[in-house]
Structure formats: C-alpha cells, structure tokens
C-alpha cells in the first residue's frame, strides 16, 4: 500500500539522507572538539565555513568563532588594497624609488630587480597565503566528524546562490591577483607605466588591467562557467572556464590590433596563464570541498523525488546515484505511476513510495527541490507537462532522465522540431583531428618521460636485479587495438615464474573479482616490488609501448587474452576501438576493488565518450589515485 504524502514528512532535527551524528552530538550542531580538526587548527578556532549561521536542534542560532571564509575575504581585501596602493602611491617615497618608470615600458626588467621590490613579495605572499588557507580549509572539512545537517528552506533551496557567489568572489580574487600581479612584475610599482594610442593620447596600463579584469569576469559568466548545472561533476565546468578565458584573450588580442595598441607581450603572456591556472586550481579546490559536503554531510545536493513509470526505471536511477554519490542528487522518495507496484528492491531501500499524482506535494513535504522523471514512455506526456506547470520557477526543478546510460553530456544536444524535443547523440569518432592531437601528446610526453627517467630507470633496473633472482624487466602479452596482441613492458615486481604459481593460490584470493586474479598480500611480490606497486612505478616502462604506438597515455586497461574470453560479442566490437592506456577510468576508480561488470562498464564508457579534455582530467586524477593507493595490490 503506497504511503500518503503525510508519511513522507520529516522533522527538522534529522534529514533522511544524512548520516547519523556521532555519539553525544546533537543534530545540527557543529563539531567543536579538537579531535575533529587537524593538529594545530583547533587551537586557532578555525572552521571551514561560516557565511551562514547554523540552526541547532534546540532552536538556537550557533555561529562559529573564527570562520575560515571570513579570513579568506579579509586577505582578498588586503590584496585589493595592495593593488590600489601600488597604483596610487607617490613616486617620491623611498619604498618605491627602485622601480620608477617614465614613458613606455615594453621590456622585461632584470629578475634581480623584481625580487628587490617589497610590494612584489607582498603580492606573492598574499597569493600563497590564500592558497594555503584554502587547502587548510579543505583539510578541516575532511577531518571533521560526521555532522547531521539540519534541513531548512535555506539549506534546501539557496545553496546554489551561495555557492555561485563564492565562485564569483574567488574568480575575481584570482583574476585581480594575476592581472595586476603581472603588471607589477613587468613594469614595477608604483604602476605608472603608460601606453600610447594611435591618436597620440596616453593611457595608463592600470586602466588596461582593469578592463581585462572586468572583461574576464563577464566572459566567465557568459560562458556558463558558474552555472549550477556544471557544479561538482564532469569536465564541463573546466571546459567552460577554458572557453571563456580563451575567448576573452582572443578578443583582447583583436582589440589591441584594431586599435593599434602596442601592448607589452610579456605582460599579456604573464597575466592570462597565471589567471587561467589560478581559476582552474580554485575550481578544483571548491569541487573537492563540494564533494566532501555532499558525500559526508548530505549538503549542497539537489534533494529529489523520483517520478517513475515503472519500478525498474526507479531502480536504475537510484543505482546510478549510488554509483556516483558526488553527482549532487539525493533521492528522498519514489513516486510511481498509477497501477505500478513497488519492487522488493525499492521496499528494501526504505524510501517513501507515493502515487505519481502526489509527487509535487511529497516533494514540498520533504523540502526537496527537484522532480526527476524516468521511464517517461510509461507516463503520459500531458502528465509530465502538468508537473512542470505545478512547479515554482527558480526554486523547484524538473529533470527528465532519458533511457540512455553512460553517454557523456557533451555528446548530447537538444533540438526542438515541430513541438518535439529531439536528442541528438554524437557518435564517437576514432580518427581525424582529435586522434592526431592525442597521438602527438602521446609521442611528446613519452619521449620527454623516457629522457627524464632514463637515469632512475637504470637505477631501478639494477635494484630489481640485485634484490631478487630474475630479469629486471617483465613482459607480458596483452590485447590491444582491434584485438591484436602486443608485448607490454613493466619492471618486474614479483619473483621469477610468478605466472606459473597462480593455480596454487586460487584459494587465497582476497581481492579482484571472478575474472581478475588479485591478492592483497600476494606472497609472490618482492619487497622492492611492493614499494614500486604502491606508487605505480612498475608501470612506467609502458612509456616504451606508448612511443611504439601499441598503447596510449590514457585508455582502457590492457586485458589478458584469457580475460577477453569473458567479453560478450558487443563488448568485443566496441572495447578494442581505441588503444589501451597506462592510466584510465579503471585505474582512477578503484582498480582491483572493482567488480568485473564495473570494470567493463568503465572501459566502454571511455571508448564511447573519450576526448582530449577527459584525457587531461584522467591524468590529473591519476596523481591523486597514486597517493591514495586505492586498489593497488
């Protein structure tokens, strides 16, 4: 018997999607104990946020002592003051005598002269302080005990606005720091350098910097880099930051050419790379903070009621949410179409089940903000349209999930035709310009890597040979592009003849899955090999395979021929359309801890959705995976 909407009501002391509060901790309270903070930070009274007060279960408003966010904005204000002061301070002050400028300045100053100016050190120090403080704030969030969040209208509906403002302020701070910092480095302080216009007039570089800052911020906003739909997941956010920044840089170059502005190229080449790197780094830090808030505290998510035409459709969406807890969606209830019975799996989940006709009422009772419609062919189009009419603009959202899974967003485009919303899905392309760029990157990085690592490789080869009997290098036949065999190279991390001992160790299997054979404490691994596997150093000789063209830097995991026998015919057709990679989705998503089905799914997802931007993201995620050591046996 489906529950009524009243059964879906929740108390403000506890939310259905939150984790239980620690013993002795009241719901809604912040953790004040020193044990919840990294050593040394508790004594300072630092907390990671604090822009908004927290309403505790007892009704009292609690405000942290010294929120890091406030210190962050104080440093931002100091940075702005330094910039303004550098532009307006009189030349006669001894503090700035070493950097007076007259007329045009188009050439770089000696690096020693740059280092003698105190304002440069203040600029660099403030930038470093903001970066370190941001990392400390993230460390505080990660080390705090679990907090049971209080569900309020503010928490349910306004987090997007708060988060967007934080991104805007951070972008502004980074752009100010980069542009005016580049001006100080290139021209000195006080920033009195000027540039001549075509009509003979003279304009200060400070006005040029101000124009670049304002235009950059507008370009980021126009490109959708701060749109709520790109928060926290995928590469779209980074792609829009790059698109907006490159668009503005190109526009500045065109304007300078048309207006015949003889701008110092060094100033421009300092400002834009510094700003772009800073914005991408700040977005990465904000994303890590957002992931912690979502996965550990259930905050900053879209609280949704799943409206499904069948139990199978609801199960599919819930399974995807479970697989990707960082996606920002939390299901609070299920609304099933008339005549549909909840399956056993839905009942076991314990989520309230209501009729689809009561979906909007249940959403508001649960203080949710989204309706997710799935398995729409079993729901009448008039019914779905009626749901959209009942929702409040801006504060409530309607999301329609298509039946296609594992298709990346950039491949999908909506096209309205005669009242129909048609989804156009771009088919994956494995040749042409993108493939040429990918191969160029592979060759360049592999050559540079082999040159830089040649001496460490020689030392490791000697150590492997000296610490255990057998050759220093290990080679194995794997299956690559178009199903052809190739020889893959690694440093030997096991005793010689380890492959012949697999049958005798089947009973000791403690990791991997039904196809991939893994043992956490494998007795065949040497002492040096265990260290190399811990840091994935044994994989580095695969740069030889990358250079020879049998592998790529990023791609699916190279399988053994025995593993390929477990593929279905459809998987065989798609899996080998690209080269295997040294790293990829399998390597950064848990490696040996994954099930066989998840391993295949990740490989196929990469094949279907690969792009240069995804490759770059996976390379950065690989660094994090190496340090976390997840699934590396």
Rounded to whole angstroms, the Cα distance separating 339 from 351 reads: 19
Map tokens 């592979």 to a residue: 442
**How does pLDDT run across 14-44, given as a tens digit for each residue?**
333 333 333 333 333 333 333 333 333 333 3
- ∠ CA 330-421-394, nearest 5°, is 45
Long-range (24+ apart) CB contacts under 8 A made by 125-130 are 126/75, 126/78, 126/79, 126/82, 126/177, 127/79, 127/177, 127/181, 129/75, 130/72, 130/75, 130/76, 130/79, 130/173, 130/177
Q: What is the pLDDT of residue 374?
A: 86
The confidence band for 510, taking pLDDT boundaries of 50, 70 and 90, is low
Q: Report the C-alpha dihedral over residues 310, 316, 322, 327, rounded to 10 degrees.
A: -100
Which helix (H) or strand (E) segment holds residue 413: the answer is strand 412-417
β-strands 485-491, 473-479 pairing: antiparallel
What pLDDT score does 471 carry? Answer: 92
Instruction: Give the residue ranges of DSSP H helices in 298-372.
Output: 311-323, 344-349, 359-365
Supply the pTM of this predicted model.
0.65
Angle at 259 between CA 258 and CA 260, to 5 degrees: 90
491: left (phi over 0), alpha (psi -120 to 50) or beta: beta
Mean pLDDT, residues 199-226 taken together: 88
pLDDT in tens, 112-127: 555 556 666 676 777 7
Tokens of 366: 């649960």
Mean pLDDT of 258-282: 87
Give me the pLDDT at residue 10, please.
33
- pLDDT value, residue 627: 77
Buried b (16+ CB within 10 A) or exposed e, 172-188: bbbbbbbbbbbbbbbbb
If one compares 569 and 250, the residue with the highest pLDDT of the two is 250
- The answer on pLDDT for 211 being more than 80 is yes
Per domain, the residue ranges of the chain are 63-297, 302-403, 433-628
CA distance 384 to 163: 30
Instruction: Kindly report, residue by residue over 442-499, the tens digit of the pLDDT.
Output: 999 999 999 999 999 999 999 999 999 989 999 999 999 989 999 999 999 999 888 7
The angle, 0 to 180 degrees and rounded to 10, between the axes of the packed helices 527-534 and 454-467 is 150
Tens digits of per-residue pLDDT, 298-354?
Answer: 778 888 888 888 888 888 888 888 877 778 888 889 988 887 788 777 777 888 888
At residue 24, the pLDDT reads 35
Classify domain 302-403 by CATH architecture: 3-Layer(aba) Sandwich (3.40)
Helix (H, G, I), strand (E, B) or coil at 589: coil
* CA trace torsion 373, 378, 381, 386 (10° rounding): -50
């Amino acid at each position: 018997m489906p529950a009524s909407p009243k059964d879906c009501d929740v108390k403000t002391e506890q939310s259905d999607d939150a984790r239980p509060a620690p013993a002795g901790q009241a719901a809604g309270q912040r953790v004040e104990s020193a044990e919840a903070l990294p050593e040394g930070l508790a004594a300072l009274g630092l907390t990671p946020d604090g822009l908004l007060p927290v309403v505790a279960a007892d009704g009292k408003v609690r405000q942290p002592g010294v929120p890091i966010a406030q210190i962050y904005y104080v440093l931002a204000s100091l940075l702005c003051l330094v910039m303004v002061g550098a532009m307006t301070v009189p030349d006669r002050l001894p503090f700035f005598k070493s950097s007076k400028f007259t007329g045009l300045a188009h050439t770089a100053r000696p690096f020693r002269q740059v280092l003698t100016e105190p304002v440069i050190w203040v600029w660099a120090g403030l930038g470093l302080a903001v970066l370190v403080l941001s990392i400390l704030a993230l460390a505080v969030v990660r080390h705090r005990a679990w907090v049971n969040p209080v569900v309020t209208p503010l928490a349910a509906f306004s987090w997007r606005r708060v988060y967007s403002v934080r991104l805007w302020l951070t972008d502004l701070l980074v752009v100010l720091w980069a542009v005016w910092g580049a001006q100080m480095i290139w021209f000195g302080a006080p920033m009195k350098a000027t540039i001549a216009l075509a009509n003979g007039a003279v304009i200060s570089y400070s006005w040029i910097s101000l124009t670049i800052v304002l235009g950059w911020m507008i370009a980021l906003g126009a490109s959708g880099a701060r749109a709520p739909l790109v928060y926290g997941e995928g590469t779209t956010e980074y792609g829009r930051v790059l698109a907006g920044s490159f668009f503005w840089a190109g526009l500045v170059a065109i304007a300078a050419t048309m207006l015949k502005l003889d701008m110092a190229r060094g100033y421009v080449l300092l400002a834009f790379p510094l700003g772009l790197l800073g914005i991408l780094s700040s977005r990465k830090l904000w994303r890590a903070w957002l992931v912690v808030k979502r996965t550990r505290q259930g905050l900053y998510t879209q609280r949704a009621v799943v409206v499904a035409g069948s139990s199978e459709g609801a199960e599919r969406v819930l399974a995807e949410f479970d697989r990707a807890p960082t996606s920002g969606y939390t299901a609070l209830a299920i609304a099933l179409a008339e005549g549909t019975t909840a399956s056993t799996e839905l009942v076991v989940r314990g989520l309230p089940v209501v009729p689809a006709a009561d979906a909007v009422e249940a959403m508001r009772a649960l203080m949710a903000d989204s309706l997710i419609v799935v398995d729409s062919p079993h729901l009448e189009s008039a019914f779905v349209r009626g749901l959209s009419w009942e929702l409040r603009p801006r504060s409530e959202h309607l999301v329609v999930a298509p039946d296609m899974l594992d298709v990346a967003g950039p491949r999908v485009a909506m096209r309205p035709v005669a009242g129909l919303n048609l989804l156009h899905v771009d088919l994956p392309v494995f040749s042409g310009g993108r493939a040429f760029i990918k191969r160029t990157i592979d060759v360049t990085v592999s050559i540079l890597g082999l040159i830089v690592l040649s001496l460490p490789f020689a030392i490791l080869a000697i150590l492997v040979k000296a610490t255990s009997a057998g050759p220093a290098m290990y080679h194995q036949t794997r299956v690559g592009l178009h199903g052809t065999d190739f020889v893959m190279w690694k440093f030997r991390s096991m005793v010689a003849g380890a492959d012949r001992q697999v049958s005798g160790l089947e009973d000791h299997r403690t990791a991997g899955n039904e196809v991939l054979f893994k043992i956490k404490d494998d007795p065949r691994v040497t002492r040096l090999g265990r260290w190399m596997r811990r840091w994935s150093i044994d994989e580095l000789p695969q740069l030889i395979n990358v250079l020879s063209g049998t592998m790529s830097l990023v791609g699916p995991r190279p399988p053994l021929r025995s593993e390929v026998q477990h593929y279905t015919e459809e998987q065989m057709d798609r899996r080998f359309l690209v080269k295997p990679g040294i790293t990829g989705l399998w390597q950064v998503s848990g490696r040996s801890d994954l099930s066989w089905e998840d391993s295949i799914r990740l490989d196929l997802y990469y094949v279907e959705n690969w792009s240069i931007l995804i490759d770059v993201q996976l390379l950065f995620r690989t660094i994090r995976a190496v340090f976390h050591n997840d699934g590396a046996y």
